[in-house]
Amino acid sequence: MARSALALPGDEMPWAGKLAICYLPEPRDFRTFVREVLREQPERVHYRLNSEAPLLVTSGQAIGAATEAERQQVVLAQVAEAFLRGRYPQSQFPAWLTGGFGRVCLLRADGLKSPRYAAYRKQVLQLIRENRLKPSDLLGEQLPERGEVLANSFVEFLAFGPEANNFPALLSGFRPDENGQIPSAVALLERLGLVGTAFEERWRNWVLGKLPAPKKDPVRK
C-alpha cells in the first residue's frame, strides 16, 4: 500500500539494505534501549533510516492498543510510516500525516471489503453525519477528539483518492527551503489548493461515494 502511494518503482526500497525492526513491548526495556543505545530521549517510535543499517525501534504502545495483537498492528503501521519517511528523508511531516498514512495503509492492506476497513469507514461516516469535524481541524497544535479517524480519512483522500496525483508534491513541500525554513501545513495546503470549504466538501462527497472510489492498489501476485 505504501509503495503504490509513494510511487516506489519495482522492488526499490527507500533505504539501504534491510530495515531492522526492534520491537520492545516492555516500556522499561524500550526506554533503556533508546537512552543507552540510541542516546535519545524516548518517544513513541524511533527511526534510523539513513544509516547503513536502517532501524525502527518501537514499543508498539499507542492509545487503544491494549493487547499484543493490537500493539503488533501499531508496529505494522509504523513500518508504513517508515516508507514515507525514507522516501522523503528531508521532509518534516506533521504527526497527523505520518500517523494517518501508516494507519490507512494498514487498513487498506486488509482489503477494502474487510471487516476492519468497513468498521473504519463506519467511523468516518459517523463523523460526517455529526458534522463536528473537518480536515482543517487537523491543522491545530493538537488532534481533536477522534482526530485519528479524521486523519486516516483525509490522508486516504490525499494519497489514494482523487487527489493522489498531488500527494508527491505535498510530501516534497515539507522539505526545508534554502533558509532552512519548513512551511506550515496550513501554508502548504493552501498553496496546493488543498484547503477551503469547497475542498472539504469534495472530501465529504468522496467519502459519501459521490466522487470516484479510492484508487485501487495493485494486486500482489
Task: Pick out the chain residues at pLDDT < 70.
Answer: 1, 212-221
For residue 216, give the nearest of 110, 119, 108 by alpha carbon: 108
Backbone angles phi, psi at 58, to 5 degrees: -150, 155
Q: What is the pLDDT of residue 220?
A: 43
Q: 54-97, pLDDT tens digit by residue?
A: 999 999 888 777 888 888 889 989 999 999 999 998 899 999 99
Structural domain boundaries in the chain: 2-10+73-207
Q: What is the pLDDT of residue 221?
A: 40
pTM of this prediction?
A: 0.85
Contacts of 145 (CB under 8 A, 6+ apart): none
CB 150 within 8 Å of CB 127 = yes
Contacts of 59 (CB under 8 A, 6+ apart): 23, 24, 25, 26, 27, 30, 71
Cα 92 to chain centroid, rounded: 13
Q: 16-26, pLDDT tens digit by residue?
A: 889 999 999 99
